[in-house]
Structure 1
Amino acid sequence: MRRTVLFLGLLVLVRPVGADDGPELTIEQAIAQALSRNPRISAAHSSADAARQGVSAARALASPEITLAPGLTRYGSDEELLIAQPLEISGTRAARTAAARAEARAAAARLDTERLVLTAETRKAYHSLAARREALAVAQAILQIARDLDHRVARLIEEGSRPGIDRTHASIEVARARADLAIASAEADAARGTLNILMGLSPSEPIGALSKLEDLVRAPSDAHDANAGSRTRPEVAEAVAQRDAARQGARLAVAETRPDLTVQFRATRLQGGVSETGFGLGIALPFLDWGGRSGRVREASAAARAREAELLAAQARVEMEIFEAQARVHAAEETVGQYRETLLGQADRLLNGARTGLVEGKADILTVLEAQRTYRSVQTEYIAALAALADARAELSRARGLMSPADDHDQAPSPAKGTTR
């Protein structure tokens, strides 16, 4: 009664169907390649480096102002040279530096976000390729089952125990199985291309054997802090940094309205060489305002309030994503459990019973074909359920801000007793 499922198992054990020549690729290796070769990470690195350079630029004193004022008098031409170096004692330099540091933290958080998102995408692409290859194995096994049924029906027709129309039904089923196999093969190739692109490789690059979905699906640990996502998600860290940058921007706008000291060098004669020179201190009095300075202060204050609201929204969004991801994980676990406990075994018994009934004359060819299609549907749906559970766990890890699958899982569940896979 277990011959059909045993055939499926042997087919997978001999050689992973759809696997290219080469060593096995684990999910950890795929993630490592993606993080080291994907251009999205390189771009985020460059942005973070640029932001760090911005801190050095902001820390430097403002550049001196050089004014050359030529003029004509009744005594002839005359010029005046004025070089003024602002000392920025009003707090503009400190606020500018603090804002740049906050922007650098935001850029670093964006890099962490890109890493986190790419990790989740790579895990899902790995799950997809593993599922497509296992579905391809099922399609190949179903084709062999259809051929076996076709040959068996032919013998029964020769013996006179079945009508000739049964051979037509069996032959059509073989053709359908071939078409399903071609579709499964194309889907496996497409999934391989997606994973390769995420890993920074050519879409046609060969990929060796993958881990089985049963091994990728692991039970989560219950020892998780419900508020861990708000502390570990880089999106929240970015929102905090942007809020701080906006606050410092408001501080800078206010500082620009305060008086400041300047060190000055003045030369009132340039003809025939610099002469009549002197040093002194100047006071910049930014009291006259046509509305630009006060407008910038109001704008910066409003921006700071907006960034504060965005931070609260980011924290709420993280909590919502964690809640939704947990719900999807629980639903996927229940679905996989139903297939393991009942559906897999029932589909197996249905197929083998129908095939036996055909030989014994207790079932017609349509009953066997329907059982065969049900068996294939249950097998492919189970693979899809495993992939959905693996994806749900990947999304939960991303929602909690966890990079490694091991951070969110502890032990692998064993298949339900009596289920053969």
Structure 2
Amino acid sequence: MQSRYFVMGAAVLLAQLISFSTQAAEQQGASFTIGESARSTDTSTAPLTLGQAITQALSTSPQLRSAAQSVAIAEGARVQAGMRPNPELSLLREGMSSTTGRTDTYQLSQLLELGDKRGARIKFAEQDQAFVRGDTNVAAAELRANVIAAYFEALTAREHVALAKESLTLASKATNAAGRRVAAGKISPLEQTRSSVAEAGARLELSQALADAALAKRHLAAFWGSTQPEERPLVAPEINLAAIPALPELQTRLEASPQMQRARIQIAREEARLNLAKADRVPDLTVTLGRKKDSLTNVSQTVVGVAIPLPLFNRNQGNLLSALRRVDKARTDAEIEYLNAIQALADAHQRATVSQEQIESMRKEILPAAQSAFDAAVTGFELGKFGFIDVLDAQRTLFQSRAQYLSALSARFRSLADLERFIAVENNVGNLPTDRNTK
């Protein structure tokens, strides 16, 4: 009986241990499962605003998390740069036999850094730390701009879906109207065939628009690490289409951009590296203090020593030359960065201005005229005054105008997002704090 109880108890204990080890393995492996942290935890159907999308991306983006880890690495390097050299303890024995004579020397040596090497190392580590933070700021600005572009790309794709659905609805109505007129003998069956082909084309356009919308939402969700498309409905922000900052104002604000700040920090970092190379030219001093004891005479003597390298051959001239060239390169890179930013700002501003003019023109003239022509064609077709080909032409013109309008909106959104890469503006992308342009 006792042996049976012992076996049963051992079995229960083994089962508990297996369960515990399984749970521990699952908990330990959960953080290393690929894609596990990328799953979206927000299952609500509340609308997703542009500000919420930016905030979520900035707080959960893997790219920014990697940049933050680089900052932590730089902090460790800064701590290490402030460490002083460790003392060295040594034992020197002359002779191995105590009968014939043996001398033991105990020494404690300390390296004394001259030329303010420690201060130069600390300064360089601090500048390197600041440069990594600058990289993080640039990554955040890039991420913010990419989220804005992706958000409006998803909005534009949604509008394309709505436009394709409306086009399919109108095409279906035109097909039904053509069928009725063919049955009544008023038009040729060829007109009904044309309308059926137009309806099939509209159905294909709707299928393509739905696929593009799903891809755009997946692209948007990828910025906060999700592997699934964003299911929350998007909210189109109130955008003032006339609020585009002037190009000279953008250029004056460019000096405060993350890219230019990082370029200036890069110059300071290379100058700190140069100072470190200059400090390394000064030889260090090693001070030794010890005790020497003779085993035969039992006499002890104090040992004091000083050692310093003679800079006859290696005076760190190669590293100094390299540091000087690094400073020159950093200044050249800053100039290149500024020129590229000026060009990017000019291009984005030009695209935004052109797209704005297109939007205003299409709102005031093209879209109303196309809608009026389409309505007149449909009414005339129902009354028998126009042929179905006229309705198709008017419908094609109307939807092409709407598609161009959406393309102009998308181009303006993308240009504003490009401005966001260099110029910090408010979350409401269209309402930039500046005077409006005059035509």
Alignment of 1:7-46 (within 5 A): 22-46=45-69
Question: Counterpart of 1:142?
Answer: 167
How far apart, in 1, do the equivalents of 2:379 and 2:248 lie? 51
TM-score with structure 2 length normalisation?
0.80
Question: Counterpart of 1:252?
Answer: 276
Native 8 Å contact 1:230 1:236 kept in 2: yes
| Cα drift, residue 175 of structure 1 | 1.0
Native 8 Å contact 1:217 1:412 kept in 2: no
TM-score with structure 1 length normalisation?
0.84
| Cα drift, residue 49 of structure 1 | 1.7
Q: Structure 1 unaligned runs (5+)?
A: 1-19, 414-421
SS in structure 2 of the partner of residue 409 of structure 1: coil
Native 8 Å contact 1:265 1:279 kept in 2: yes
Question: Counterpart of 1:288?
Answer: 312
Alignment of 1:76-225 (within 5 A): 80-211=105-236, 215=239, 217=241, 219-222=243-246, 225=249
Question: Counterpart of 1:14?
Answer: none
Question: Counterpart of 2:400?
Answer: 377
Per-residue CA shift, 1:223-270, capped at 9, x if unaligned?
A: 974444443222222222222221121221221221333343334459
| Cα drift, residue 179 of structure 1 | 0.7
Read off the aligned partner of 2:265 and give its amino acid letter: A
How far apart, in 2, do the equivalents of 1:129 and 1:82 lie? 73
Per-residue CA shift, 1:356-408, capped at 9, x if unaligned?
A: 22223332222211221221111122112111111211211322244744696
Q: Does 1:395 align with 2:418?
A: yes
Q: Provide closer, same or farther for how the CA distance between residues 356 and 281 of structure 1 changes in structure 2, counting only shifts above 3 A.
A: farther
Q: Provide closer, same or farther for how the CA distance between residues 76 and 366 of structure 1 changes in structure 2, counting only shifts above 3 A.
A: farther
How far apart, in 2, do the equivalents of 1:313 and 1:158 lie? 71
Q: Provide closer, same or farther for how the CA distance between residues 147 and 132 of structure 1 changes in structure 2, counting only shifts above 3 A.
A: same
How far apart, in 2, do the equivalents of 1:178 and 1:312 lie? 53
Alignment counterpart, residue 364 of structure 2, candidates 324, 341, 352 = 341
| Cα drift, residue 72 of structure 1 | 5.1
Question: Counterpart of 2:266?
Answer: 242
Read off the aligned partner of 1:44 and give its amino acid letter: A
How far apart, in 2, do the equivalents of 1:51 and 1:228 lie? 32
* Fraction of identical pairs, as percent: 23
How far apart, in 1, do the equivalents of 2:189 and 2:259 lie? 67
Question: Counterpart of 2:14?
Answer: none
Tell me how large the CA RMSD over aligned residues is: 3.0
Question: Counterpart of 1:417?
Answer: none
Larger Rg: 2
Range with greater deviation from structure 2 (99-108 or 332-341) = 332-341
Range with greater deviation from structure 2 (76-85 or 225-234) = 76-85
SS in structure 2 of the partner of residue 220 of structure 1: coil
Question: Counterpart of 1:233?
Answer: 257
Alignment counterpart, residue 298 of structure 1, candidates 288, 299, 321 = 321
Read off the aligned partner of 2:255 and give its amino acid letter: R
Q: Structure 2 unaligned runs (5+)?
A: 1-42
Native 8 Å contact 1:102 1:241 kept in 2: yes
Native 8 Å contact 1:192 1:207 kept in 2: no
Q: Does 1:58 align with 2:71?
A: no
Native 8 Å contact 1:264 1:281 kept in 2: yes
Native 8 Å contact 2:58 2:64 kept in 1: yes
Corresponding residue pairs, total: 391
Per-residue CA shift, 1:39-71, capped at 9, x if unaligned?
A: 111110111121122212112213334555565
How far apart, in 2, do the equivalents of 1:248 and 1:194 lie? 41
How far apart, in 2, do the equivalents of 1:256 and 1:177 lie? 74
Question: Counterpart of 1:318?
Answer: 341
SS in structure 2 of the partner of residue 219 of structure 1: coil
Range with greater deviation from structure 2 (391-400 or 215-224) = 215-224
Q: Provide closer, same or farther for how the CA distance between residues 178 and 216 of structure 1 changes in structure 2, counting only shifts above 3 A.
A: farther
Per-residue CA shift, 1:15-55, capped at 9, x if unaligned?
A: xxxxx971111100000000011111111011112112221
Question: Counterpart of 2:12?
Answer: none
